[in-house]
Amino acid sequence: MDPLSSLLSGIRAEGSVVSHVVLTVPWAVRFADIAPLTMISVLRGGGVLLLPDGTQRALGAGHTALVRGPGPFHLVDHPAALDSSHAAYEITCFTESSECGTQELSGIRWGSDSEEAAALIVGAYRASGHRHERLLRALPPVVVVEEDAEVCAWLEAAAADAASLSAGSQALMDRLLDWALVCTLRSWFDRAGADAPSWYRGLADPVLAPALQSFHDRLAEPWTVASLAARAGVSRALFAKRFTHLMGRPPLAYVTECRMDEAETLLSDTDLGIAQIARSVGYADAFGFSAAFKRHKGRSPSTYRAAAAGAASGPRATR
């Protein structure tokens, strides 16, 4: 499994869609949430994102924004809306009730022909375990990608169908949002250049891609620079030089980093024994794995697992 697919396996849209909504100015929507990731697609009209750190990002028709959680943020028709009379809405997902809900959304007009109206699709993504954290670390606080008009028209039609509450509508919208997340991330990574994660840049490189794909498909194999170079079809020296230049670290440093990240996920999200986890990430025994994990993560595997279990059983965050 390639790195992006692996990371996306830890985050899903499941019963989380708010809806396809049409807002008439002046309006403001507050996202009072603990969702790890929220997607806003502007089908018509536009608005301005107001993030907790004061960042403002204008969104127009065709823009899709991914906002990294869990802090609250606003989407408004104009930055001054918060300080003047406006229609106020609030969206909360994954709160204590684990349901996505709205306040005062019953007054939203559907299918308005007003030129000032904004039509949106809003969805929030639920995390399953800790794998998604590596994806979020690769993203800035907000990602904005522009889609073409045909995609927007198709999204609006699909949202309208889901809103009809016909059989399978929730599953349809959940899968639609999962698809949209993959497409949005790939589009942003393609355009991000040097700001894209190193593993994504590597997978786009014709020399490194075969080696990276082989490694991520078979993490437990005893990979060496020579065996990775053989997958790439180049000399060991050329592979190491190209890898270090593009990925920002030597090949085996990257191999160890990926193995330790995967070990973190397995320690947090599974009941596998230390020896089993060691073998699954390429170590012959638990002793060697434990020493490597403590060297790279600062804690032994058992200490890390106990801390993760304690955090998971603690009180949930509320707003």
2-16, 156-170, 211-225, 299-313 — most confident range: 211-225
- Helices 225-232 and 251-269: angle between axes, nearest 10 degrees: 100
pLDDT at position 153 over 50: yes
Helices within 70-145 (DSSP H only): 132-137
Model-level pTM?
Answer: 0.74
Mean pLDDT over 179-200 rounds to 82
CA dist list (Å): 102 to 31, 122, 161, 195: 10, 12, 20, 35
**Can you tell me the mean pLDDT for 55-59?**
92
Between 93 and 172, whose confidence is greater?
Answer: 172
Query: Which pLDDT score is estimated for 287?
Result: 95
pLDDT, residue 58, reads 93
Give the pLDDT of residue 158.
65
Min mean pLDDT across 63-72, 100-109, 293-302 is at 100-109
Give yes or no for a contact between 268 and 301, defined as CB atoms under 8 angstroms apart. no
For residue 79, the one-letter residue type is P
Q: 92 pLDDT exceeds 80?
A: no
Q: Select the more confidently predicted residue: 33 or 223.
A: 223
Average pLDDT over residues 190-208: 84
Chain position carrying tokens 């930055």: 79
| Of residues 217 and 156, more confidently modeled | 217
pLDDT at 53 over 90: no
Over range 5-31, report the average pLDDT: 69
Instruction: Work out the average pLDDT over 130-152.
Output: 77
Query: What mean pLDDT is predicted for residues 290-305?
Result: 94
State the chain's mean pLDDT as an integer: 79
293: confidence class by pLDDT, cuts 50, 70, 90: very high
Which runs of consecutive H residues, i.e. helices, occur in 105-168?
Answer: 132-137, 149-163
Q: What's residue 240's pLDDT?
A: 97
Token representation of residue 68 = 């990294």
CA distances from 121 to 11, 84, 87, 163 (A): 18, 25, 18, 11
State the average pLDDT over residues 192-208. 85
What is the percentage of the chain residues whose pLDDT exceeds 70? Answer: 75
Q: Is the pLDDT of residue 221 over 70?
A: yes
pLDDT tops 80 at residue 16: no
Give pLDDT, residue 102. 44
Q: Report the pLDDT averaged over residues 72-98.
A: 73
pLDDT number for residue 266: 92
Confidence at residue 163, expressed as pLDDT on a 0 to 100 scale: 57
